[in-house]
Amino acid sequence: MEKKVALITGASSGIGKELAKIHAEKGGDLVIVARSKNKLESLKSEIEKQFKVEVKIIIKDLSKFDAPQEIYDELKKANIKIDYLINNAGFGFLGKFHEIDLQKQINMINLNMTSLTAISHLFLNDFVKRNSGKILNVSSTASFMPGPLQAVYYATKTYVQFLSNALSEELRDTNITVTNLMPGATATGFGATSGMDKTSMFQKTASAYDVALDGYTGMLKGKMDVISGVPPLLRIMLALIPFMPKNIMLKQVHQMQEVK
């Protein structure tokens, strides 16, 4: 049986790192992408030794406009066919929109939305030509609502959810699937990087492995949406969002994201 090759962005830590290990454990080869050369080289060594698969690393900052095309061209040149595209790279910041550095927010938009769109477009064309392939986009439960104190981050994740769902429908009559993974608060570096680790939302977090496994399993099954790492009470709240008065919902989200 031919090995499946997965391309995973943001693979140096957190959910992306766990996704890489899960795919390797199933015997698949990998292309792992991130900015940190040391972390990727360490992960490559660990995975190749433990699972006897091939791992190619690509050092790239996906907030840069040309990065998706450069990744695609490098893999074409190396004659590496991608079977699973996993768009995991992303970041956020906690704070008021007008107080957060503008360039940081532009970089967030470039990484969370523009880059994801470009790399999906590039590889999806190949998937369509051979009528096979799977895409897993890591969104967030933040995609269900506006997010005061993380206005741009929530907006970008809503884009990821809506894009993923639309592509899923466009490809309904093909052998290609697009899965939208929506993690809740997860024990990764994101909490500390964004400042969310000091809020009530991150007092209890899911493990990155559990979230990655839910997403990977959902991708293999061709599910459109996967919610993971969310306690029952919050699941009920997410289901009720469309019926809540918007001003009450916004106030609640605002309070949950305030640093205590």
Give the separation between CA 114 and CA 167, rounded to whole angstroms.
Answer: 16
Give the separation between CA 253 and CA 239, rounded to whole angstroms.
Answer: 15
Can you tell me which residue has the tokens 């993974």? 181
In terms of Cα–Cα distance, which of 259, 33, 224, 31 is closest to 149? 259
Give the separation between CA 204 and CA 256, rounded to whole angstroms.
Answer: 13
Confidence of residue 247 (pLDDT cuts 50, 70, 90): confident
- pLDDT (average), residues 93-121: 96
Give the separation between CA 141 and CA 123, rounded to whole angstroms.
Answer: 26
The reported pLDDT for the residue numbered 250 is 85
Residues with catalytic roles = 153
Can you tell me which residue has the tokens 């970041």? 91
Give the separation between CA 39 and CA 181, rounded to whole angstroms.
Answer: 24
Do 13 and 39 meet the contact criterion of CB atoms below 8 Å apart? Answer: yes
Do 127 and 176 meet the contact criterion of CB atoms below 8 Å apart? Answer: yes
- pLDDT (average), residues 123-151: 95
Beta-bridge partner residues of 136: 86, 179
Helices vs. strands in the chain: H and E counts, helices first: 10, 9
The reported pLDDT for the residue numbered 188 is 57
The reported pLDDT for the residue numbered 253 is 86
Amino acid at 134: K
Domains and CATH numbers, the chain: 5-256 (3.40.50.720)
Q: What is the pTM of this model?
A: 0.90
The reported pLDDT for the residue numbered 191 is 47
How confident is the model over 176-231, as pLDDT tens digits?
Answer: 999 999 998 765 555 455 455 555 555 566 789 999 999 999 999 999 999 998 87
How confident is the model over 12-24, as pLDDT tens digits?
Answer: 999 999 999 999 9
